[in-house]
Amino acid sequence: MSTFDTNPFADPVDVNPFQDPSVTQLTNANQGGLAEFNPFTESSRLTNAPQTTPATQPTGPSQPAVLQPSVEPTPQAVASAAQASLLQQQEELERKAAELERKERELQNSAAGFNPKQNNWPPLPKFCPMKPCFYQDFSADIPADYQRICKMLYYLWMLHSITLLLNLLACLAWFLINPERGVDLGLSILWFILFTPCAFLCWYRPIYKAFRSDSSFSFFVFFFVFFCQIVEYIVQAVGIPNWGNSGWIAAFSVVGVNLAVAVIMMVVATFFTVCSVLALFLLKRVHSLYRRTGASFQRAQEEFSQGILTNRSFQNAAAGAASTAAQSAFRGN
């Protein structure tokens, strides 16, 4: 209630805020420190120096940044650099040329030392002046599925040659007992000389090539020629007189004259019969294999046309014919 007794309109008491005990105590303490402070002494300068944090120095050696002046290369320096580059390129090209030349020599040496497939048929002795004309290797050229049939055809050709030789001997014996059979002897010699190599070239080699390279054209050549060979076997087995064949008819005609010669001629007639039967059997076997190979007449025509067009002799002949026709047309105009 004392607060309400005061007069709010009375003059305020002069209160000095600096007379407060707490303020005067603090002021006296600070004055004592300021009296002892000398800003010019070394200790005060060190104690009152502002504390600064040194900058972190780089660990490695630091180089001052120096601006390099831009120097333009002189024409002589440019020319020298270009010449050095050209010399280096020339040395590289010469090195590559030497390397290519070395490889070419190696290839030539290897080609000279390489032995290609040499002809081995017919197997002639080394002292013979004649050399083999064909290369034949069933295991290397013919697939395993066709080797057996191909060998059988080769054996048939051998039997064919032996039969023609026996036919010549039989006709010779027939001529000895009957001099009127000179025509048969002459024709038998011709058949042996002509049909032995022709059979090898005309139907055995085509079927060998057909099995080796799966050639439709070679298959068709074989079928045509081998069919004619079968007809020939049948005619020779029949033995028509004056045809140069010691067949059944000729053998029976000699039975009453000379039995030994008749037996020889019958043996030859049997050989011709066996050849015809084997030929028919092998023709059927080859035809069944041919149907499984996928060959066709159209494919044979394509192979024939390609072979003709790529033949150098045919190309030369065609070029000669074309030039002759052009010259004739030019002269006619």
112: part of which helix (H) or strand (E)? Answer: helix 75-113
Give the three-class secondary structure for 194. Answer: helix
pLDDT mean for each 10 residues of the chain (333 residues): 53 56 57 52 50 50 53 74 84 87 77 66 84 89 92 96 97 94 94 95 94 87 95 95 93 92 96 97 92 62 56 54 60 58
pLDDT of 103-136, one tens digit each?
Answer: 888 777 665 554 567 888 888 888 888 888 899 9
* pLDDT for residue 59: 53
* pLDDT for residue 27: 57
DSSP state letter for 121: B
pTM: 0.59
User: What's the CA gap between 59 and 257, in Å, rounded?
Assistant: 132
* pLDDT for residue 107: 79
pLDDT of 69-93, one tens digit each?
Answer: 555 667 777 778 888 888 888 888 8
Report the Cα–Cα distance between both ends of the chain, in Å, rounded. Answer: 159
Structure tokens at 178: 């009957």
Residue whose entry in the numeric block shows the structure tokens 């040659």: 161
pLDDT of 199-218, one tens digit each?
Answer: 999 999 999 999 998 888 88
Q: Are 37 and 43 in contact (CB under 8 A)?
A: no
Cα torsion 48, 50, 53, 55: sign? negative
CA–CA distances in Å: residue 133 to residues 130, 153, 174, 243, 274: 9, 19, 36, 32, 29
* pLDDT for residue 101: 85
